[in-house]
Amino acid sequence: MSFTVYVPRDASALSLGAEATASAIAAEAARRGIDVALVRNGSRGLYWLEPMVEVAAPEGRVAYGPVQADDVAALFDADFLHGGRHALALGPTEQIPYLAKQERLTFARVGIVDPRSLDDYRAHGGYRGLENALKMAPADIVAAVTDSGLRGRGGAAFPTGIKWKTCLDASADKKYIVCNADEGDSGTFADRMVMEGDPFVLIEGMTIAGLAVGATQGYIYLRCEYPHARDALNAAIAATTAAGYLGNDVLGSDKAFHLEVRMAAGAYICGEETSLLESLEGKRGQVRFKPPLPAIEGLFGKPTVINNVVTLCSVPGILDKGAAHYRDFGMGRSRGTLPFQLAGNLKRPGLVEKAFGVTLKELIEDFGGGSATGRPIKTVQLGGPLGAYIPPSRYDTPMDYEAFAAIGGMIGHGGLVAFDDSVDMAAQARYAMEFCAIESCGKCTPCRIGSTRGVEVIDRMRANVERDRNEALLRDLCQTMLHGSLCALGGMAPFPVLSALDHYPEDFARSA
Amino acid sequence: MNHAARAGSGPQDNNRWLSPENHAAVLEVTARLKDQPGALLPVLHGVQEALGYVPEGAVALIARELNLSRADVHGVVSFYHFFRTRPSGKRIVYLCRAESCQAMGAAALESHVKQRLGVDFHETTDDGLFTLEPVYCLGNCACSPAVMVDEELHGRMTPERFDAWLKAAREAS
């Protein structure tokens, strides 16, 4: 009898020892003469339980975790291959509350399928969206995406269908689909997880985008900090090309779509769409003026759809299950789901895909389980290094783009970093300016110079040098950056600074 | 400047004046990659992969092969944090400094690592084994603090785990 055992190949699981666990299982099975087929899946996103091992049982998959290599022999002794009892047993995977309470649309297959197997992808509903799209007129594909209410998941939340429509309506001899996989925001890892755990869904999403707007070439601009995602994507591109899903004649449709992974080189600013295009063209990643919009004049001057990984990965499901299915999740003008990433000082960090409308409190407490250190959570930074620090009084705010804009915050890419009460908010404000100075592309003055001046002014405040006068100066500087910067880096770096100052003034030294 | 006098007078010179082997290695990369659109980043990645860094002396050669100015190439090399213009140690230790790792003790880990290796960021240990670089997010934020050594990711790093890793890495080298 053969047993199927799943051990993630997700980078974070590997960072906790998953490779050694997998080797130990293979070795122990061989030693005992048991036939075990190891599947290296993505992560389910329950990172405090990684490396999480699953066994395929007749009634569904059963989980154990966290399993280190030296736990393996005991698991065999406990007959884990038949779901045996053991201290690390977690029961049926799908019934673990953290997972059971989620609404997984975009992440439906992540952690379930073998990311190296196209057959497995197809067996779990993969490529049904593309098959539908191939029967539709381009304008109808765009209309479906518009009707779904999908908005850009990279952070800007621009309606995806409108972007696609602009590109469709532009006439040119060549158009491009560019995937922004330069996921540089601290506290975010959804792009990485889906690219490693279900790379085919991104390829399918980009192919559908190509059909929708008439683009024949796609690029995935991937950050160089993600070597595991690079390998997963390249393997998936090779498999889909060999099977006829990519190439000059996609599934016999007479339509071409080619796809290539391009590696970034460690510049945070290249997550901004126009500097990303500059970088893809082989230049310094400096921000472009808009207009022209990339959808009209983008990569190499041609109409270009540029979308985030999660946005593109949401498209196949919309084309498969229909726009209404996706739109029925969510609240207000925030439709569908968002994969929230719970990071920082939390007991149960991980990925939580939920419909918009879930509150920050539910994410931090019900899912996150409070702080890992056991101390009170003082603040949560939402939306990456340019996101505001949210105080506990605002934890009831529902996750909705407009609701957070109204309190001076932003959901961004859905990353959430919790800090306990040992954090010094003035140090965090200083870091925001320091980071902006390190990563500024240098094109506009408020960002290039303002960020460095910002560090200096905060240093003076912390040293109680003319504290109040320097606070006025800092606020004034932030206004200049907010309104005078060319892109979101300089234009949003004041968010963490001002929110720290507004909600935690006591952390900024004051003269006695 | 006397080229002959510079050649062979120290490892620094390999940076400015390409050895015949390095010259050939750069040409191999440019010949393979230069015809794709927007070839410069792939070419620089290729050169860094082949040589471990992008020597100053390679800039003019890359510029010539790609029909760009030296200023264009230099501008790109110097813009991106990932490209290095000096050789690194045998392994590169990337230590995450971003918020999620800060929330889990990255600052203390940073002082510990610097003290243990005896270097600051962008520096290489005296034995040439390790170069320490800061990084701003490795996407391992659910397992903070994170460290990546070359392409090997480590999560929930503590000073004690770092010491254990360092001991093993030193013994293995």
Q: Write the residue in B44, B80, B156 that is nearest to A267 by C-beta.
A: B80
Q: Is A379 in contact with A427 (CB distance < 8 Å)?
A: no
The dihedral over CA atoms of A488, A490, A491, A494, expressed in degrees to the nearest 10, equals 120
Q: Which two tokens stand for residue B80?
A: 């991106």
Taking the CB of residue B116, how many other CB atoms lie within 10 A of it?
A: 15
Q: What is the CATH number of domain A333-420?
A: 3.10.20.600
Considering chain A, what percentage of its residues have pLDDT values greater than 70? 100
Around A89, how many Cα atoms within 13 Å sit in the side-chain half-sphere? Answer: 17
Domains of chain A by residue range? 2-100, 118-327, 333-420, 425-507
- CA gap A15, B140 in Å, rounded: 8
Q: Is A413 helix (H, G, I), strand (E, B) or coil?
A: coil
The band of B5, judged by pLDDT with boundaries at 50, 70 and 90, is: very low
Contacts of B81 in chain A (CB under 8 A): 265-267
Yes or no: domain A425-507 corresponds to CATH 1.10.230.10:
no
The ranges of chain A with pLDDT < 70 are 511-512
**Number of residues that make up chain B:** 173
Q: What is the CATH number of domain B91-172?
A: 3.40.30.10
Q: Which residues contact A472 (CB under 8 A, 6 or more apart)?
A: none
Question: Cβ of B168 under 8 Å from any chain A Cβ?
Answer: no
Class (C level, CATH) for A118-327: alpha beta
User: pLDDT tens digits, residue range A456-484?
Assistant: 999 999 999 999 999 999 999 999 999 99
Q: Count Cβ neighbours within 10 Å for each residue of A124-157 and write b for 16 or more, e otherwise.
A: bbbbebbebbbebebeebbbbbbbbbbbbbbbeb
Helix, strand, coil shares of chain A as percentages rounded to 5?
Answer: 45, 15, 35
Q: Which of B39, B100, B138 sits opposite A282 (nearest CB)?
A: B39
pLDDT score recorded for residue B8: 39
Q: Cα–Cα distance between A306 and A180 in angstroms, integer?
A: 7
Give pLDDT, residue B6.
39
Q: Considering only CB atoms, which chain A residues are within 8 Å of B135?
A: 225, 266
Going B75 to B79 to B85 to B86, the CA torsion angle's sign is positive
pLDDT of residue A511: 61
Q: What is the pLDDT, as a whole number, of residue B1?
A: 38
Cβ neighbours, 10 Å, residue B165: 16
Q: Does residue B7 register a pLDDT over 60? A: no
> What residue type is assigned to position B25 of the chain?
A
Give Cα A447 distance to the centre of its chain: 25
Amino acid at B76: V
SS3 for A271? helix
**C-beta atoms of A189 and B141 within 8 A:** yes
The alpha carbon of residue A262 is apart from the nearest alpha carbon of chain B, in Å, by 7
Q: Do A11 and B140 touch (CB under 8 A)?
A: yes
Q: Do A47 and B143 touch (CB under 8 A)?
A: yes
Give a three-class secondary structure readout of A471-487. HHHHHHHHHHHHHHCCC
The gap between the terminal CA atoms of chain B, to the nearest Å, is 39
**Burial class of residue A291, CB neighbours in 10 A (0-12, 13-18, 19+):** exposed
Distance from the Cα of A302 to chain B's closest Cα (Å) equals 13
CA distance B13 to chain A (A): 26
Q: What is the pLDDT of residue A269?
A: 97
Query: Percent of chain B beyond pLDDT 70?
Result: 91
DSSP symbol at A391: P
List the CATH code of the domain at A2-100.
3.40.30.10
Nearest-angstrom CA–CA distance, B156 and B134: 17
Instruction: For strands A217-222 and A258-263, give the pairing.
Output: parallel
pLDDT at B4 over 50: no
Q: What gap in Å lies between CA B97 and CA B109, rounded to an integer?
A: 10
Amino acid at A502: D
Interchain proximity B102–A224, CB inside 8 Å? no
A14 min Cα distance to partner chain B (Å): 7
* A300, A286 contact by CB (below 8 A): no
Domains in chain B: boundaries: 3-79, 91-172
Residue with tokens 């993969």: A126
| Chain B residues whose beta carbon lies within 8 Å of the beta carbon of residue A438 | 136
Q: What is the pLDDT of residue A58?
A: 87
Name the residue facing A15 among B103, B135, B146 (closest C-beta): B146
Per-residue pLDDT reduced to its tens digit, B61-79? 999 999 999 999 999 999 9
Q: B74 to each of A172, B77, B86, B173, how far by Cα in Å?
A: 33, 5, 14, 34
User: Mind telling me how many Å the CA of B39 is from chain A's nearest CA?
Assistant: 6
Q: Does the beta-carbon distance from A372 to B142 stay under 8 Å?
A: no
Q: Is the model's pLDDT at B3 over the cut of 60?
A: no
